Amino acid sequence: MKTKLINYIIGFILIIYYYFSIKTSYNLIVLNKGGWYFGEWIINYQDGGFKRRGLLGTLFIWINELTDIKLEHIVFAFIFLLYTVFFSLLFKLFWKEKNNLLVVMLVLLPVGFGMMVKDPNIASKKEILFFFLYLVYILCLRSKVFIKDITITFFIIIALLTHEAAFFYLPFVGLAYFMKNSGSSISKIKKILLYQFFPSVIIMLLLYKFGIDIKTENTVSFFKAHGLTLSEMGIFDYDTNFDVLGHYKGHFYDYQTYAISILLGTLAFHIYCKFNKVKINFIFLAIQIVFLLPLFYMAVDWGRWINIFFSLLTIFIALEQKLVLSRKQEIITFVLILFNLTWKMLLITQGFLTFPKLDDFLKKIFYFIYFKIHNLL
C-alpha cells in the first residue's frame, strides 16, 4: 500500500485513541473523582511532607490555592493538554516516516497503544508523562537536536518524582541513547550509568528512605479545606501490607493469561523486525526485562506495566527503517491486523480475552493441563 494512505490510516487511528483518552479522563477525573485515578494526580507535599509521587500534586495544589479553580478541573486541564501535545507529536513522528502496513499493525496492538480502546481505564494514568517525555526525546534524536546529558538527568528525576515506576523503564532511555548517539560504546555506557542510572538510584533511595506515607493524618481534612471530597480514597487507602502473593494465587489462571498477551505482542514485534530487517540491541532489551521483574512482583496491575513496555517500544521502533513489503508479507500483516481486533488485555487480572467460545476453550485446555501436572506432582 502507498505510504500516504497508510499515514492517513495511522492518523485516523490516533484520533480515535485521542478521543477515548480525553473522554475517559474526563469521566474518571471530573465526574467520578476516583481515588485510584484522580487521587494519584493530587498526591502532594503540602499535607504532610516529602513523599513519592507528590511532585505534580504539589503544583496542582499551589495553582488551586492561587486561583480557587477546582482541583479536578486543574488536573483535567493538565491531562487534556498533555494528551493533546502527545498525540500531536505522535502524529508528527509517524507522518514523517515512510510507513508500511506493519506500522498499522503495531499501532493497533492491544498490549500497546491499542489498549486505549480495548480497556480505556488505562487513560489518565501518570505514564502518559513517561510517553510524552520519551517521545520528545526520540523526536530530538531524529532531528539531530543536541541534548545535554544533564538535561536527560533532570527530566528523569521529574519522571521519578511523578511516579517511581519510571525507574523500571530506564533501559528504554539508555537504549535510545546508545543506539542513536555517536561515540564509542564504552563512552556511551559510562554516560548512561553516570547521568541516568546512578541519579535514578539516588532518587529512589531518597523516596523510600525519607518519603512518608502517601496518606497522612491531615490528608482528608486538607482536601476538604481545598473544596474536594473524593468518591473513594483509592490510592490514599492502599494497604502497604497487602497480600500480593495471595492475590495472585486467588487469580491464578487470570494472571497466567498475561503470558498469552506478552507472547502475541512479542510475536508482532518479531515479525515487524524480521520483515523490515530491523535489529534492536538485545542486551538492552534483556536488561529492561530484568528491570521490570520487581515491578510485576510488587504491583498487581500487570496490564499497566505490559502496556507501558510495548508502548515505549512502539515509540522507539518508529524511527527504524521500513521496507517495501512483498504481496505475501502484506497479506500476513493484514491477517495480523484483523487478529489484533479480536482480542484484548485488561488492566488487572484479565490477561487475555477474546471471543467467549474461544476464551472458554482456552480455559478448558489450561485446567486440563494444570490438573494433569498437579496430579503427577
Place 280 in a pLDDT band, splitting at 50, 70 and 90: confident
Give the pLDDT confidence score for residue 234 in this predicted structure.
84
Q: Which residue has the cell 486541564?
A: 77
Q: For 56-66, how does the pLDDT look when each residue is reduced to its tens digit (9 = 90+)?
A: 999 999 999 99
Place 9 in a pLDDT band, splitting at 50, 70 and 90: very high
Place 243 in a pLDDT band, splitting at 50, 70 and 90: confident
Mean pLDDT of 159-177: 95
* Residue 374 scores a pLDDT above 80: no
If one compares 41 and 3, the residue with the highest pLDDT of the two is 41
Give the pLDDT confidence score for residue 4 in this predicted structure.
87
Note whether 29 and 72 are within 8 A (CB).
Answer: yes
C-alpha cell belonging to residue 182? 555517536
The CB-based long-range contact list for 165-168 (8 Å cut-off, 24+ gap) reads 165/126, 165/127, 165/295, 165/299, 165/305, 165/308, 166/130, 167/200, 167/203, 167/204, 167/291, 168/291, 168/292, 168/294, 168/295, 168/305
Cβ within 8 Å of residue 7, ≥6 positions away = 94, 95, 99
Query: Distance between CA atoms of 26 and 48, rounded to whole angstroms?
Result: 28
Report the range out of 82-91, 174-183, 232-241, 318-327 with the highest average pLDDT.
82-91
- Picking from 32, 107, 47, 140, the residue whose alpha carbon sits closest to that of residue 341 is 107
* Residue 377 scores a pLDDT above 60: no
Mean pLDDT of 19-37: 92
* Residue 163 scores a pLDDT above 80: yes
Give the pLDDT confidence score for residue 252 in this predicted structure.
84
Place 375 in a pLDDT band, splitting at 50, 70 and 90: low
By residue count, the chain amounts to: 377
Give the pLDDT confidence score for residue 371 in this predicted structure.
67
Q: For 116-145, how does the pLDDT look when each residue is reduced to its tens digit (9 = 90+)?
A: 999 988 988 999 999 999 999 999 999 989
Give the pLDDT confidence score for residue 166 in this predicted structure.
96
Burial annotation 164-176 (CB, 10 A radius, 16+ → b, else e): bbbbbbbbbbbbb
Query: With pLDDT > 70 as the criterion, what percentage of the chain qualifies?
Result: 98
Q: For 344-354, how does the pLDDT look when each residue is reduced to its tens digit (9 = 90+)?
A: 999 988 899 98
Give the pLDDT confidence score for residue 265 in this predicted structure.
96
Note whether 51 and 214 are within 8 A (CB).
Answer: yes
* Residue 50 scores a pLDDT above 70: yes
Global pTM?
0.94
Query: Distance between CA atoms of 149 and 189, rounded to whole angstroms?
Result: 12
Mean pLDDT for all residues in the chain: 91
Q: For 70-88, how does the pLDDT look when each residue is reduced to its tens digit (9 = 90+)?
A: 999 999 999 999 999 999 9
Place 364 in a pLDDT band, splitting at 50, 70 and 90: confident
C-alpha cell belonging to residue 260? 498469552
Give the pLDDT confidence score for residue 262 in this predicted structure.
95
